[in-house]
A = this chain, B = another copy of it.
Amino acid sequence: MEKLKKYVSVKDEDHFYHQGAVELLIFNFLLILTILTIWLFKNHRFRFLHETGGAMLYGLLMGLIIRYVTKSPDVESGTVYECEKLKSGPSTLLINITNQVYEYQYKREISHHNVNGHQGNAMLQKMTFDPSIFFNILLPPIIFHAGYSLKKRHFFRNLGSILTYAFLGTAISCIVIGLIIYGFVKAMVHIGQLKQWEFHFTDCLFFGSLMSATDPVTVLAIFHELNVDTDLYTLLFGESVLNDAVAIVLTHSISIYSPKENPNAFDAAAFFQSVGNFLGIFAGSFAMGSSYAVVTALISFMHLTKFTKLCEFPMLETGLFFLLSWSAFLSAEAAGLTGIVAVLFCGVTQAHYTYNNLSPDSKMRTKQLFEFMNFLAENVIFCYMGLALFTFQNHIFNPLFIFGALVAVFVARASNIYPLSFLLNLGRKQKIPRNFQHMMMFSGLRGAIAFALAIRDTDSQPKQMMFTTALLIVFFTVWVFGGGTTPMLTWLQIRLVLVGVDPDEDLKAKAASQSASNLDKNTTKAESAWLFRIWYGFDHKYLKPLLTHTGPPLTSTLPEWCNPVARLLTSPSAYGDQLKDGDTDYIINNDELTENYEPSAHIPAPAQDSTGSIQATGKEDIQEGDLGLGGYKLQLQHTAHQPQKNSLA
């Protein structure tokens, strides 16, 4: 008897293993379907559905099936048991049931109103995985990849505008959404459409901050495919990357904003504390991320110079790179900072310094690895979003609230883009044209981050309603706006370089002409040049030589008395590698910049001519193209003075 029982228990356990396999299999199946569909679409040049949209659609269908086809097998569920002996919820609960001890693990605290029959559908429950998986596993590779593949040159040229949109714009968006939603909620309570829940202004701001994270992955993919104007691409990409970071820290700060007495009244102390929190968390995460990257750079630097052996083991190099980058995320989380922000800046710094120290094999491996992880994680998240519409068990659909939120989101996007563009254009030599502004307005899609922030807290009813609303807004924007990108580009007459020609045949010609048309813009000084110049000088003179093999040797940039230290820290190859400086593309046509570093007697100045030719070294270009999905290499030489305006639009 005892024996038999054991066998039964073993079989039960096996059943549990298989359960895990079934859910993973469902995800695999959805992803395979998505890939096959997207491949078909790419093959026929349908651009109205991006892979993320497809993943969401399949997830939705699968969620529908799981919800209405599978039965709830667990009759005990939905019943609340009393336990008088316990004072608080321990992390592990041992329960004696008919003389057999079972171990239960704490999952969460749930509100009384959430205790309903659906809780027990084991399948639904298994499919709704822990939000911490989003934050610890799925988001970091996406964000890191965004940082790692940032088009540095264009990014730094538009740094001022991007920072303005990202910081000021997100703050504006958050406040505008918060205010509109607050008004809407008040009105709804007034006309009796909404029960008098505790729906405070902070809740509205919380919603505002999470809905401010834009995710134009669909739009950017189409831009990339159609070779849309690089400045527009950079503005949008840079904004969306930084804006995620800002929105996450903002949400975090708002959620820990706790006014002392009346939560509706404005509490100046608490407010300033929140602002302080925001700045502290942001700066801390930034520092954490960059320092991990600097450590990686130093390790990989050491490898090349002193031991010169790690590059023989690209696997170890790649492994170290991967683990240190992930550690940046985890350390920030463990320290109470924001891991996403840390991993973003870690990615940017890795690309800027460490990348140059890696062996050629590792360069390719890391890029392909992160590209692949990004691809998988992105599609898993969008799949899951589709699933969540039917498998999440505490949705609260409120059509009026959803309508209000949609209005708020659009108004907020408009009051972010248009006023800020106007202000920026006052300072910019190279204006952001009207049609670019409309396109940026149109590209305010919501995606993974908004969803992840919303699902992180779904305890109270207002939070559940927000989650449902956020999910529907993601659906709406990804399908409608994502699908409408190509028509919108045509309608707004945004320059597409050589559209309609087979992208493979004319890739080089296209790249050449595009760069040529950008070049005449370059000759006008970019608006952020002063910021850029200061940073560039410091970076080129001190950081690059210290962390990589490029740039002038430290002995020439540091004051005389630092020479012994400088000699120790400079890579021996730096003296010889001057001509191979991977950063020449930074300084083209910025003659003022060349004054910033004085070539010492024995070192030839980096080759640069004032005719404006782009000396695109392989190094930087591989870095900047998105490998695999149609990356190309700039092969332009001396065409700057014959700008070919090839725009068809």
Query: Which residues of A does B touch, CB under 8 Å?
Result: 2-4, 6-7, 9-14, 16-18, 20-22, 24-25, 28-29, 31-32, 35-36, 38-39, 42-43, 74, 76-83, 85-98, 100-112, 115, 119-120, 122, 125, 132, 135-136, 198, 255-256, 258, 263, 299, 303, 307, 309-310, 312-316, 318-320, 322-324, 326-327, 329-331, 333-334, 336, 339, 361, 365, 368-369, 371-372, 375-376, 456-457, 459-460, 504, 628-630
- Additional 12 contacts, C-beta under 8 A, given A21-B339, A368-B368: A12-B109, A13-B457, A24-B330, A28-B327, A32-B320, A39-B309, A74-B91, A81-B85, A89-B95, A313-B628, A365-B368, A368-B369
Pick from B91, B101, B102, B459: contact of A106, CB below 8 A.
B102
A-B contact pairs, 26 of them (CB 8 A): A9-B109, A10-B255, A10-B457, A11-B256, A17-B135, A17-B333, A20-B132, A21-B136, A31-B323, A32-B323, A39-B309, A42-B313, A76-B90, A78-B94, A80-B95, A83-B97, A86-B98, A89-B97, A94-B110, A94-B119, A102-B110, A103-B119, A314-B628, A315-B372, A319-B375, A368-B368
Query: In the bound complex, how far is the Cα of B24 from the Cα of A198, in angstroms?
Result: 37
Pick from B87, B100, B136: contact of A109, CB below 8 A.
B100
Majority SS of interface residues in chain A?
Answer: helix
Query: In the bound complex, how far is the Cα of B365 from the Cα of A98, in angstroms?
Result: 54
Pick from B21, B108, B323, B336: contact of A334, CB below 8 A.
B21
CB pair A334–B18 under 8 Å, yes or no, is yes
Q: How far is the CB of A105 from chain B (nearest CB, A)?
A: 5
Contacts of A256 in B (CB 8 A): 7, 10-11
CB pair A35–B316 under 8 Å, yes or no, is yes
Given the contacts A87-B98, A372-B319, A25 and B334 also touching, CB distance less than 8 Å: yes
CB pair B101–A83 under 8 Å, yes or no, is no
Q: How far is the CB of A392 from chain B (nearest CB, A)?
A: 15
Pick from B95, B330, B628: contact of A25, CB below 8 A.
B330
Pick from B91, B112, B309: contact of A125, CB below 8 A.
B91
Contacts of A78 in B (CB 8 A): 94
CB pair B76–A88 under 8 Å, yes or no, is yes
Query: In the bound complex, how far is the Cα of B88 from the Cα of A97, in angstroms?
Result: 6
Closest to A369 in B: B372
Query: In the bound complex, how far is the Cα of B326 from the Cα of A31, in angstroms?
Result: 12
Given the contacts A79-B94, A102-B106, A320 and B459 also touching, CB distance less than 8 Å: no
Contacts of A329 in B (CB 8 A): 21
Query: In the bound complex, how far is the Cα of B102 from the Cα of A83, in angstroms?
Result: 11
Closest to A258 in B: B7
Closest to A327 in B: B28
Pick from B89, B93, B136, B369: contact of A24, CB below 8 A.
B136
Query: In the bound complex, how far is the Cα of B120 from the Cα of A20, in angstroms?
Result: 25
Closest to A2 in B: B198
CB pair B39–A629 under 8 Å, yes or no, is no
